[in-house]
Structure 1
Amino acid sequence: MQIWRSLDDVPGDLGPTAVTIGNFDGVHRGHQAVLSQMVADARARGERAVAMTFDPHPKTVHDPEHPPVLITGLDDKLDFMAATGLDGTIVVPYTLDFAQQTPEEFVLAWLVEGLHATSVVVGQDTKFGRGNAGDVTTLRELGVRYGFDVHVIDDACALSESGRRWSSTWVRELLDDGKLVEAADVLGRPHRLRGTVVDGDKLGRTIGFPTANLEVSGGMIPRHGVYAGWLTVLRPGDGAGATQVADRLPTAISIGYNYTVGVEELRVEGFVIDSSGLDLYGAEVALDLAQWRRPMLDFGSLEALIAALDEDVAWCRGVLQLD
C-alpha cells in the first residue's frame, strides 16, 4: 500500500479510484469488512482502492482540551489498513483551515482533482465540509455534477455476530475493563502498544526479572495490571535486539505503578520469557496483549513481589501455551 502525506505525493498516473473516508481508529472488524469489500468492488470495476484518513484526529483540533483516546497509533493503523488490500492511503494533515472548506470545495480539491475518484464509498451517517454541512445527499448531488458514483455502506458490514455494531467505543470499553480476549474479538487481533525501549530503574535485573521499559508512542493504555502477551522488535536499537527483528517473543507485561517499590510513574514493562542476555535498549517494539491476569498490587516486600512475579510468569506460560 502506498502512503501519501499530501496531494502532491499522489502519483499523476494513479488512474480511476474508489475512495473511502474515515478515522478508522483501531481498524476493527467493522472497518476491515468495509475496506475489504470496497477493495473487491474496486477491483471488479477496474479502479484502485484508496482510503483517506486524518492526522491528528479532528476532535483533537476542534476540542484540544479533550483529545480522544486513540486505540491505535498512526503507524499501526496504516499497517492494519494495508492488510485489507488497499492500494493507497492519504493521511490528511487535519487543521482548522482544512475544516473551513465547503463540502463542494473539499470534494473538488480532494476527491475529484486530487484522487481522481470515480466512486466514493461512505457510511449513511457521513458528514463533511465546513460545519459538517455535507451529508450523503450532498455527496450524491456533487457526484452527479463531477462524475463519480456514491456507494453507501450496507449496515450489515458493521454488525457483529451478537448484533452489536462493531465500534471503536466498544473496543475502548473492553480495554478499560481489562477484557483483552473480548477486545481481540472485536479488533480481529490482539490489542497493540508500540514504543521505544528506554532506561528504567533497572530493579528487575537485580531480582531476576529484567524488563524492557517501554516509552509508548501509540496504542491505548488499557486497564492497569499484569498481562500475557508478545513482544516484537519492529526496529532494532544498538544492542542484540537486531537479531530478534520480527520474532514474536513470549512476554509477561505489567502496566501501571509498582506500588511495592514506590515507583510513582506509570510504567509499561515487558519481561521476555525464556530469553537471557537480550539487549533491547533503543529498539522500537510492539507489545500485543493477549490476556489480563491481575491488578497492580503492593506486596509489602521484595520477597513477596518476587514470589508473585514467579506465579505471574507461570500463568503467562500457560496462557501463551509455552509448556
Structure 2
Amino acid sequence: MRPERRHSVVVIGNFDGVHTGHQKLLARAREQAVQWADDQGPLPVVVVTFWPHPLRVVAPDKAPRLLTDLSDRIDLLRRYGADQVRVVQFTREIAGWSPERFVETILTPLNPVAVEVGENFTFGKGAAGTGETMRELARGRFEVDVMHLWEVDDVRTCSTLVRQAIARGDVEQAARHLGRSFRVRGVVVMGDQRGRDLGFPTANLVIPDDMAIPADGVYAGWLRRLDERDALLLPSAISVGTNPTFDGLERRVESYVLDRTDLELYGVEIGVEFVAHLRGQVRFSSVDELIAQMEVDVADTRSALGVA
C-alpha cells in the first residue's frame, strides 16, 4: 500500500534577489509549518520558483536584469527557510495555462495545507490569476495566505526598486531592501594586467548582460572565493566600468584586495559584495593622476569598511 503523501506549506513566486519581503514570506511559511505540524514534526516548506524570468519568455524586450542567478536564488531561499526548492521551467505553454490548470498542475501535486504568496503575485494566462483567484480555486482544499508588500523606511520593497537602486549606484539602499549587500559572482578572467603594473592588481569579472550590475564607478566592498567553504571576506576597492583612461570597451567589475599582491585567482569563481559607493567613473589625463586617485580610493575603502 502506497504511503499517504505528507502535506507541505508552499511558497510561490519569482523571488529574484530574495529580498526582505521574500524573507518575511518565508518566515511566515515557517510559522505555518509549525502550526500544521504532524507526527513527524513541522511540515516541509516547499518553494516554487520560475526560470527563466517569465518576462524573458513572454516579452523579452521588457525582461529585467536579474539580481541573482538561479544558483544564488536557490541558496538564498534555503538560507531563509526553504526545505525544498522546486524550479519550474517557464515556457510559452505554461504562460498560456488557465489559473485553474496552473493550480492543478503546479500546486496540487505538492499536497499543500497552505500556500503563501505576496500581494503582487499573478499567475495564469495574461497574469489573470491573483491571490484572491487562488483562494477561490483552493476553497475546501488548502488555505491561501496573501501577504502585503513589506516596507523598509516606509518604502515598499520589491525587486524592481532594488534593481533601480543598483542601476544608479545606490548600493546602500539596495542593501537595506535586500537585507544584505548586493553581490555579483563569476569566474576571474585575465584582464589587461595594467593594475598589476600600477601596484593594484585586480580580479576581473565580466558580468552577463542579463544580470544587474551597479552603475559605473568605484565602490568599497568585499571579495570572497566561492571554491573554498570557509573562505574569508577580503576588503576590496571595486571598480565598475570600461576603464576610460585606457579607452577600454568591455564593461567589467575589477576588484583590488587591499594590501594583497599575492592572490592567484585566475579561473576561480568569486563573489564580490558592494558596500558603499565612493565616486563615479573618471577619465584621468595621466597614469600618475590615476595612481594618486587609486591611493585615495583605497583609503576611502578602509574608512567605509572600518578596516585598518
Q: Same fold (TM over 0.5)?
A: yes
Residues 287-321 of structure 1: per-residue CA shift (max 9 Å, x gap):
00010111111111111111111111111111111
- Partners in 1 of 2:63 and 2:195 — Cα distance? 34
Alpha-carbon distance, 1:201 to partner? 0.9
1:299 pairs with 2:284: yes
* Contact in 1 for aligned 2:207/2:252 (Cα 8 Å): no
CA distance change for structure 1 residues 148 and 177 in 2, over 3 Å: closer, same or farther? Answer: same
The residue number in structure 2 matching 1:126 is 121
Extract unaligned runs of 5+ from structure 2: 38-42
The residue number in structure 2 matching 1:316 is 301
The residue type equivalent to 2:287 in the other structure is L
* Contact in 2 for aligned 1:192/1:219 (Cα 8 Å): no
The alignment's TM-score, normalised by the length of structure 1, stands at 0.87
SS at match of 1:216: coil
Please tell me the root mean square deviation across aligned C-alpha atoms, in Å: 1.9
The residue type equivalent to 1:33 in the other structure is K
The residue type equivalent to 2:60 in the other structure is P
Deviates most, 223-232 or 134-143: 134-143
The residue type equivalent to 1:97 in the other structure is E
The residue type equivalent to 1:234 in the other structure is L
CA distance change for structure 1 residues 254 and 44 in 2, over 3 Å: closer, same or farther? Answer: same
Picking from 253, 276, 279, the partner of 2:238 is: 253
CA distance change for structure 1 residues 198 and 191 in 2, over 3 Å: closer, same or farther? Answer: same
SS at match of 1:194: strand
1:189 pairs with 2:183: no
Residues 68-104 of structure 1: per-residue CA shift (max 9 Å, x gap):
1112222222222212111111111111012122222
The residue type equivalent to 2:126 in the other structure is G
Deviates most, 270-279 or 210-219: 210-219
Alpha-carbon distance, 1:253 to partner? 0.5
Alpha-carbon distance, 1:124 to partner? 3.4
1:144 pairs with 2:136: no
Picking from 26, 29, 41, the partner of 1:35 is: 26
CA distance change for structure 1 residues 117 and 312 in 2, over 3 Å: closer, same or farther? Answer: same
Picking from 105, 116, 124, the partner of 2:111 is: 116
Q: Which structure 1 residue ranges, 4+ long, deviate > 6 Å from structure 2?
A: none
Alpha-carbon distance, 1:13 to partner? 8.0
- Partners in 1 of 2:5 and 2:49 — Cα distance? 18
The aligned runs of 1:139-288 (5 Å cut-off) are: 139-144=134-139, 147-153=141-147, 155=148, 158-160=150-152, 162-216=153-207, 219-235=211-227, 246-288=231-273
- Partners in 2 of 1:118 and 1:306 — Cα distance? 61
The residue type equivalent to 2:125 in the other structure is R
Size of the aligned set, in residue pairs, is: 300
